[in-house]
Amino acid sequence: MFVSKISKLVLRSLFKKPATLMYPVVPRVWEERTRGHIGIVEEDCILCGICMRKCPTNCITVDRNKRKWIIERMQCIQCGCCVEVCPKQCLTMEQTYTTPETFKVVDTHDIPAPPPKAAPAAPAAPAAEAPKAEAPTA
């Protein structure tokens, strides 16, 4: 009878549990460094446009007048250049992959305007004088 050299391995695998996951019922465990998609923390962005210049596929558009940060998800190659060069560290590399779609997904993020700078300066001046005025009396 012909017994192949692989019989031992096959018999052993008969009694072990399967090596595959029941995906998508059992979710996948992502690694920490997996390059999935680019995320942005909108409050920290200053619309400098460095990420737009460094992107090798030109998938990021920064619109200063309308205060929008636009990314074409299907054009992005998840290289991480934008994450490295952002001066405010507001871009992050998320772990999950972009879900497949039948059209080219374009994500638009509205960057909120920064809080007005004039207000802190005015109370600071009288606040600096008020303790001085109160100190001699106290």
Partner 1 sequence: MGKRTIIPFGPQHPVLPEPIHLDLVIEDETVVEAIPSIGFIHRGLEKLVEKKEYTEMVYVIERVCGICSFGHGWGYCAAVEGAMDIQVPRRAEYLRTIWHELSRIHSHLLWLGLLADGFGFESLFMHTWKIRETILDILEKTTGGRVIFSVCKVGGVRKDVDAATLKEIDEILAKIRREIEELKEVFLEDDSIKNRLCGVGYLSKEDAIELCAVGPMARASGVRLDMRLNGDGAYGELDFEPVVATEGDCYGRTKVRIYEVLQSIDLIHQAIAQIPEGELSVPVSGPATGEFMARIEQPRGEAYYYAKGNGTKFLERMRVRTPTNMNIPALVKTLQGCDLADVPMLVLTIDPCISCTER
10 binds partner 1 (CB under 8 A): yes
x/- map, 41-80, partner 1, by CB under 8 A = ---------------xx-------------------xxxx
What span, in angstroms and rounded, lies between the C-alpha atoms of 3 and 11?
A: 12
CB of 127 to partner 1, least distance (A): 45
Candidates 1, 6, 14, 125: give the one binding partner 1 (CB under 8 A): 6
CB count within 10 Å of CB 106 equals: 13
Q: Which is nearer to partner 1, 83 or 90 (CB)?
A: 83
Window 108 to 127, contacts with partner 1 (CB under 8 A): none
Through-space distance between the first and last CA atoms of the chain, rounded to whole angstroms: 107
Nearest alpha-carbon partner for 47 in 68, 32, 27, 28: 68
9 binds partner 1 (CB under 8 A): yes
CB count within 10 Å of CB 51 equals: 24
11 binds partner 1 (CB under 8 A): no
17 binds partner 1 (CB under 8 A): no
What span, in angstroms and rounded, lies between the C-alpha atoms of 43 and 113?
A: 8
Contact, 71 vs 107, CB < 8 A? yes
Binding site for partner 1 (CB under 8 A): 2, 4-6, 9-10, 13, 19, 31-35, 56-57, 77-80, 84, 93
